[in-house]
Every structure is written in structure tokens, then in C-alpha cells.
Amino acid sequence: MKFLNLTILLFSVFSFSGCATRQQTVNKNYQKQVNRLTQQLRKQKMISNELKDENLVLRQLAGVPEPALSRVQREGKRDLKVYSEKFLYSQIITAFKKEDRKKLSRAVTVFLKQYPKSQRADNAIYYKALLDFRSGRLAESLEEFDRILDHYPKANKTPSAILGKGLAYKALNLSDQAKIMFENVMNKYPKTPEYIRAKREIREIEKKSL
């Protein structure tokens, strides 16, 4: 009888131990599922917030009035600057390639408003100036080239902007002003592609003046 009771007791102990082990395994699996779901929710929330920011930028590019944009931005409670620089610049490139002057102008305006000190700011303006030049809007292109020289005088696009002014003056049949710009490029930026182009342009002007 004592042996039987001892056997029952031992069986109960092992059964309880087995149940406890199974319960621990269940708890661990449950915790893993919770952690995995939490990570998925965080990713979805991040994607949702980024889409909201891009939607706000698209509203700006579409010409939504500023008061409405301010209201949308307040409701979203998001900092547009955290996400939008790369997106905005891609919109500038796309508009330039499609020769969509209206969209390009808006994209450049929004970009410079959000990121006036960006390393790409001079590039953004240059794309607009170049499209204006190709479209025959020479006065507008001169204004944009001047904007680069006035606000970003040491930027990468400075020699290109000076050369661009020379080409615009040449297209306007203002040879003297054009020559000054080309000489400026040659004096300040030797051993550059702009130097080679400026030198060629000066030769053409001098040939025509003979």
C-alpha cells in the first residue's frame, strides 16, 4: 500500500513538472508572437507616416493654398523635413526630364523653402534655369543663374551658372556681355569643362566680329 501511494505521488510530481514545462513553452511562443506583431505594427505605422508626408509634398506641388497646407501639417503633427528632401529632389529631376516647367518651378520653390541650405540647392535652381534656357525663356534663365551666384556663390554649379549667363546673352545677341561671362569662367575656373566651352564660345564671337 505504501509502495502504491509513493508511486502515485511520484507520478503526480512528474505530471506537474511536465505541465509547468509545457506552460513555459507556450508562454515563450506567445511572447515571440507578441514581439513579432509589435514590430510589424511599428513598420506599418512608419510607412503610413511617410505616405502622409509624401502626400503633403504632392499637395504643395499641386499648388494647394498655403493656409490649407498649414492646417494639414498641423493635423498630421509631422515634421516634413525629416523625410522629404530626397523625395522633393527626385520630383525636380522627374519634372526636368519631362520638361514640365510648371511642376519643376513648384518643386524647386518647395525644395528651397524646406531646405535653403541643402547641398543640392544650387542644383535645383540650375535645373530650372537650364529648362528655361532650353524653352527660350532667356530672361527667366538669367534670373535663375543670378540666383545661384547671389545665394550660392561657392557652390558646385557656380561656373555652370556663369557659363549659362554667357550663353543666354549670346542667344540674345548681346555678344559683349556674353564675352565678359565667358572670360570670367576662364579666369576663375581653369581646367574645367566650363573653361573649355567658354574658350570655344569666345573664339566663335571673335570670328563673327572680324
CATH code, 156: 1.25.40.10
Give me the tens of pLDDT residue by residue for the chain, a chain 210 residues long.
Answer: 555 454 554 455 455 555 556 666 656 776 777 677 777 767 666 555 555 555 555 555 555 444 444 444 444 444 444 447 999 999 999 999 999 999 999 999 999 999 999 999 999 999 999 999 999 999 999 999 999 999 999 999 999 999 999 999 999 999 999 999 999 999 999 999 999 999 999 999 999 887
Residues 107 and 142 in one domain: no
Residue 87 included in any domain:
yes
Residue 186 included in any domain:
yes
Check if the beta carbon of residue 69 is closer than 8 Å to that of residue 84.
no
Among residues 118, 147, 162, the one where a domain terminates is 118
Among residues 118, 146, 170, the one where a domain terminates is 118
Residue 1 included in any domain:
no
Check if the beta carbon of residue 57 is closer than 8 Å to that of residue 72.
no
Which range marks the domain in which residue 208 is found? 138-210
Side-chain half-sphere of 191: how many Cα atoms within 13 Å? 0
Q: Give the predicted TM-score (pTM) of the model.
A: 0.64
Among residues 89, 118, 147, the one where a domain terminates is 118
Domain count for the chain: 2
